[in-house]
Amino acid sequence: MANTFRDLGISEQFIQALEENNIIKPTEIQKLAIPYLLKEGKDFIGQAQTGTGKTAAFGLPVLEQIDANSKVIQVLILCPTRELGQQIAKQLFKFTKYSDKKIFTEAVYGGEKIDIQIGRLKRPTHIVVATPGRLIDLLERKAINLDHVKTIILDEADEMLSMGFKKDIDKILEYTNGQRYTWLFSATIPAALDDIIKSYMDEPFKVEIRKEQLVNENIDHKYMVVDLKDKLDLLSRFLKENSKARGIVFCRTKKNAELLSKQLYARNFKVEAIHGDMGQRDREKVMRAFKSERLPILIATDISARGIDVQNLNYVIHYDLPDQMEYYTHRSGRTARGGRKGLSLIFIAPNDIDKVKDLEANLNIKIRNFNS
């Protein structure tokens, strides 16, 4: 199998940008997807977790295929959240730094005035990255023309369904149901997603990255048995003992995230929370502070953390265990990036200890007791 992006068929103009961004060796999903997607002409399913390099797996073939001389929208990328949309658009822009082709990408999402986005779409645009709800709004206003779209990419498709976007996705796929190819990327294939595959995709080629190929051996998985009344004190002790470190503390609900943020702030920790009820400007302000290392501790929910790409995080704390097992992988993958070491620490109630064993068995990892 190919071991470099050159072997995969990526041109030098994009390889230079990849190397500048320290993307040297292709990941498993990139090795399997890129050669196939470069050929065009087929629908595709890539089943892989977040953090496996999916954006480059679909982004590089898309950039190779764009006709920059044609000033129409040729590619539509659907994703669940504005943060992920912004992240994808930013990454595509970085990939084109040394490209001979002038490729223009726009991201459209809720939380920003739609008139501003309509204005931007009047400029030449080749690729649109969109959340489903905002794209439906733009279609209903006849403010976007998808007549020339050749490729639609559904990124984190299972996540879009779990957020209630099934009807919107159906509408978008029906609207564009002409001479276009559909590339679908998802961690899981639930029944509702299987319906979409059967309804809108034509004999798709599928690759699956197995769980054992996804284990990041640089993550140290640990658990701490904690009574509810002691949780805040034990978290505070950990944060004090690791005051020079940076990380994310995950809560299951917006209410819990907001409460924990206030409790830690009252204990003089420099901390902020992000969740779905925040305005776009406030969210971006918090994320700027976190990325620039002015803010060492971020409290987040699973949905609000989608699309966050922050380097050099030392730990992830599961203050509440997630509802879905794959979220544990999403969360833990925020640390130990770029070959660095990281800690994934679970706070677990005494009567929930079996959930740790379930995670070990399902994810093929070893989770050790923090205190032993």
Backbone φ, ψ for residue 55 (5° rounding): -60, -45
Q: Which helix (H) or strand (E) holds 127?
A: strand 127-130
Percent residues over pLDDT 90 in the chain: 74
Residues 11 and 143 reside in one and the same domain = yes
DSSP 352: G
Distance in angstroms (rounded) separating the CA atoms of residues 312 and 299: 17
Residues 150 and 92 reside in one and the same domain = yes
Backbone φ, ψ for residue 186 (5° rounding): -160, 150
Residues 34 and 77 reside in one and the same domain = yes
pLDDT of residue 354: 96
**End-of-domain residue from the set 153, 178, 212:** 212
**End-of-domain residue from the set 212, 247, 276:** 212
Residues 250 and 191 reside in one and the same domain = no
Give residue-wise pLDDT tens across range 78-88: 999 888 899 89
Give the domain range for residue 365: 217-369
**End-of-domain residue from the set 155, 190, 212:** 212
pTM: 0.78
Residues 56 and 120 reside in one and the same domain = yes
Give residue-wise pLDDT tens across range 147-192: 999 999 999 999 899 888 999 999 999 999 777 999 999 988 889 9
Give residue-wise pLDDT tens across range 279-294: 878 888 999 999 999 9
Residues 203 and 228 reside in one and the same domain = no
Residues 296 and 309 reside in one and the same domain = yes
Provide the number of structural domains found in the chain: 2
- Closest C-alpha to 94, from 314, 86, 39: 86
Residues 33 and 60 reside in one and the same domain = yes
Residues 198 and 221 reside in one and the same domain = no
Q: Which helix (H) or strand (E) holds 107?
A: strand 105-108
Question: Which runs of consecutive H residues, i.e. helices, occur in 190-279?
Answer: 191-200, 231-241, 254-266
**Residues ≥6 apart with Cβ < 8 Å to 113:** none
Distance in angstroms (rounded) separating the CA atoms of residues 202 and 151: 13
Residues 274 and 208 reside in one and the same domain = no
- Please check the confidence at residue 307 and state whether its pLDDT lies above 70: no
- Please check the confidence at residue 333 and state whether its pLDDT lies above 90: no
Residues 15 and 55 reside in one and the same domain = yes
Residues 190 and 323 reside in one and the same domain = no
- CATH number for the domain including 237? 3.40.50.300
Give residue-wise pLDDT tens across range 226-259: 999 999 999 999 999 999 999 999 999 999 999 9
